[in-house]
Structures are given as C-alpha cells and as structure tokens.
Amino acid sequence: GAEATEPPSRPYATAVIAPATAEALVLATAAPEEAPAEPGAAMAVPQAGQPGLTLLGRVGVVDPYSLDDYRAHGGYAALRRAFDIGAAGVIREVTDAGLVGRGGAAFPTGRKWQATASQPAHPHYLVCNADESEPGTFKDRVVMEGDPYSLIESMTIAGYAVGAHHGYLYLRGEYPRALRLLQNAIDRARARGLLGDDILGQGYAFDIEIRRGAGAYICGEETALFNSIEGYRGEPRSKPPFPVEQGLFGKPTAENNVETLINVLPILTGGAQAYAAIGTAQSTGPKLFCVSGNVSRPGIYELPFGATLGELLDLAGTPGEVRAILLGGAAGGFVRPDERDIPLTFEGTRAAGTTLGSGVVLVMDDTVQLPRMLLRIAEFFRDESCGQCVPCRVGTVRQEEALHRIQDRTGAEAAGDIALLREVGRAMKDASICGLGQTAWSAVESAIDRLDVFESRGAK
C-alpha cells in the first residue's frame, strides 16, 4: 500500500551510535530528543502573579535562569542589608521576627544560628536540607525551580550569620530539574562575585556545593543527612551531641530547610517587626501549604499562619464529599471534614491533637479507600526505615502486616489487630532513635481514633 513507499520520517531509533563519553551519555539520557517541554514551576502555584505574595512573589514572574531578572525584582537587597547590620544583627533580626523551622519541628531559627555562631570550634558549616521526601510535599521543589536565586541568597546570609564559609545544599536525588537551575544559579552568582572569596567586596568568603541524595527518605533527618554527605550509610546519629555543637564532619553546623531559609529574605528587607506582624503571636510569617488529592486546584498556597483549614480548602476547591484530610503527610495525622476551623499554626494543630508537619494537606473524598491508604503509608515506612534501631525496623513491618490482615474486617474481628497496632505504635513512638519511627504510627492512630476506619464500614 501507500504506507510502504513512504520514507521513514526519521532514522530508526535502534541504530543509534552510543555516546562516546560518560558526560555525553548522561546528557543523552537526561535530555532525549522527544522529551516534551517541561511546564514551568508556576503551574503548581495557583496564586502565581497575584499581589501580596511574600515567598512565592517571584515564581512565574522572573526567569529562573536569569540573575539580572532576579536582581530587578529585589534580589540581593537582603544580602546587602545583612552586611550593613553585621552577623549579630542578622541573628537578632531573625530572632525578633520569631522565625521557626518550617520542616516540621518548629525550632526557633535565631536560637539555632546563635548557638552555631557562638561555638569555639572551627570551621562552621551551613547545610540546606532540600531532601524533600515527605509524601505530598513539593513546596521546596517549586521554590527551587521557580526562584532558585532566592535560596542561594538566603544560604549566603545564613552562612554569614553563623560564621560559615562553606555551605552544602543537600538536594533530593529525584529533582533533576532543580539541580540544573540551582547549579546554574550558583555558577552565575559566583561569576558575578555574589559567591566566592570576597562577596560584594565585603571581605566575606562563602561558597555552596550541591550534594545529591539517592532517594532515601531517612536522609532528610538532619543527622542522617550529615552521614550521607560524609559518605557513610544514611542512618541517624544519636543526640546529643547536637548538630550545632558537632554536626557535619564533627563541626558546628546550622541546618535549615529550604522554606525556612527563604523566609530570611523578607525579614531582612522588610524588618523583623513587619514580618512578626504577619501570622499569630507564636507562629509568625507566611507559610507554604502543599494541597493535593481530591481538590479542583491542587498546588502550593501561601497563607499567613493562623488561616483556618477551611479557608485553605475553599481556595483549592473541594468538588466531592470530603471524607478525611491528611495533615503533615505520611508522618502526620488525619482530621475529619467537620474540623475545618482548625487554625493552621503549630500551636493550633497541636491543640487539635494533630500536626502541621511540613504543610501537607491531602484531601480525600468518599471514593478513597482509607484502609488501603493506611496500608500504603505503612508500606512507605517499612520501605524507608533504615533498620538501625529495632523498634522501627520490626515495628514498621508488624504494623504493615496487621493492616494487611484487617483490610476487609471491621468491629470485633479487627479488635485484636487494632490492639496489636496500638502496642507496636507505642513502642515505636517511645523507643525509636529518630522521627521516622516516632511518627510511623501517627497517621494510622489518627485514622483509627478520629475516623473510626475499622468500625464504620461494617455499618455501611
């Protein structure tokens, strides 16, 4: 027929000449000819381009590759102010602003920096934890892909404040695009004298090195991350000693999450007072929330602390009948749809008996099979346990087995396994070395207690 005579539109893909060098091979696999153009980071920001955004103001507005564009939109004003007020002044501003860690633990950033800066042992290190692996979180990725220079600038300020001359950016292995943008940002900043031996002619030397993870969730734990950078197996260390005294390479280290660091820019440009006026008394400033699941407009939302869960859900739009909302990701807890008034602050969620964690809000409607969801969470923790301590290594397996057994049981049939789950959960919570084991049972516990998961289905 006609098809046979038509010449092939392009050579057969099988007859490719193999790339000559390792670099060429990496490039060929990373950038195949047929790859569709990647959508911009702003696609994940429903509020992109709206006035009044503090942390996401540049996402989708500036060209993430261009340093000039970043500077035209207020970039590097914060670093200049940092040099004007000195390292102690920066720490004072961050403390007065009430900034606390955004990764979930909510430790006061100013206190952490002060503790690191005052350590006599040298050198000091600054580590940015960009190993964003909590299921449901993608806020750091959007910041790094949409506004990479802001992270480079805020790391430089943090390094200056704690007296570090070397910064490590520990990036999740599954973020190749963020890697490209950040490496480009570091190279361009270095070429312009914004990183290197003498930043802005102020006599301060600081440089940033990117280290990539290899897909382990546990390496997001601060001390396991140090082990990973040092080339050891990614296992948490026991504390004390704390990282501010003996962290990376046994030296004083300040480690902050991406979102925590970028909050330093508005604090320095607008002043601590203006920043502290946003949010509530205990949780100041804006917060990024990752909304996904059964919503009309999933993505990253920036809201001041103290906004309620209902306000956030209204922004995202919930078309179906909401059955449950998972706050804080796999390590967080479920809340019922009638708890829309929970204020989204660290203290507000604690008072409601749940956790804000890293800002995950995963909405589930009545099409979601919750027992299957819990099993998925249990499988995740079993996979990601590093196996160093027994409670977590064995507990995560026992938890998954019990959830397997009661997938289709309710009421009295499930009672024995639920008792076992509680016992295992308590043991993990009390005796695990790090947060992975301590929170591995949180979501399951909240589903049993708040949602009556293994009770109601018998009645349906």
Task: Quote the domain boundaries for residue 177.
Answer: 67-275
Domain membership of residue 380 (yes or no) is: yes
The rounded distance, in Å, linking the Cα atoms of 177 and 183 is 10
CATH of residue 361's domain is 3.10.20.600
Q: What's the pLDDT score for residue 13?
A: 45
3-state secondary structure of 274: helix
What proportion of the chain, given as a percentage, has pLDDT over 90? 87
Q: What's the pLDDT score for residue 455?
A: 82
Q: What's the pLDDT score for residue 24?
A: 72
Q: How many domains does the chain have?
A: 3
Domain boundary among 275, 294, 316: 275
Q: Residues 181, 216: one domain?
A: yes
What six digits make up the tokens of 75? 């970039």
The rounded distance, in Å, linking the Cα atoms of 444 and 375 is 9
Q: What's the pLDDT score for residue 21?
A: 77
State the average pLDDT over residues 45-74. Answer: 96
Asked if the model's pLDDT at residue 34 lies above 70, the reply is: no
Q: Residues 90, 114: one domain?
A: yes
Q: What's the pLDDT score for residue 175?
A: 95
Domain boundary among 340, 365, 390: 365
For residues 60-83, one letter each, b for 16 or more C-beta atoms within 10 angstroms of the residue's C-beta and e for the rest, the string is bebebeebeebbeeebbebbebbb
pLDDT band at 413 (very low <50, low <70, confident <90, very high): confident
pLDDT band at 47 (very low <50, low <70, confident <90, very high): very high
The rounded distance, in Å, linking the Cα atoms of 443 and 53 is 32
CATH of residue 255's domain is 3.40.50.11540
pLDDT band at 18 (very low <50, low <70, confident <90, very high): low
Q: Helices 442-451 and 370-384, interaxial angle, to 10°?
A: 160
The rounded distance, in Å, linking the Cα atoms of 448 and 459 is 16
What proportion of the chain, given as a percentage, has pLDDT over 70? 93
Domain membership of residue 230 (yes or no) is: yes
Q: What's the pLDDT score for residue 27?
A: 72
Query: pLDDT tens for residues 344-380?
Result: 999 999 999 999 999 999 999 999 999 999 999 999 9
Query: pLDDT tens for residues 159-210?
Result: 999 999 999 999 999 999 999 999 999 999 999 999 999 999 999 999 999 9
Q: Residues 343, 447: one domain?
A: no
Query: pLDDT tens for residues 290-338?
Result: 999 999 999 999 999 999 999 999 999 999 899 999 999 999 999 999 9
Cβ-defined contacts of 223-230 (< 8 Å, 24+): 223/247, 223/434, 224/386, 224/434, 225/127, 225/129, 225/131, 225/170, 225/255, 226/127, 226/253, 228/170, 229/127, 229/168, 229/170
Q: Residues 291, 415: one domain?
A: no
Query: pLDDT tens for residues 106-139?
Result: 899 999 999 999 999 999 999 999 999 999 999 9
Q: Residues 385, 326: one domain?
A: no
Mean pLDDT of the chain: 92
Asked if the model's pLDDT at residue 12 lies above 50, the reply is: no
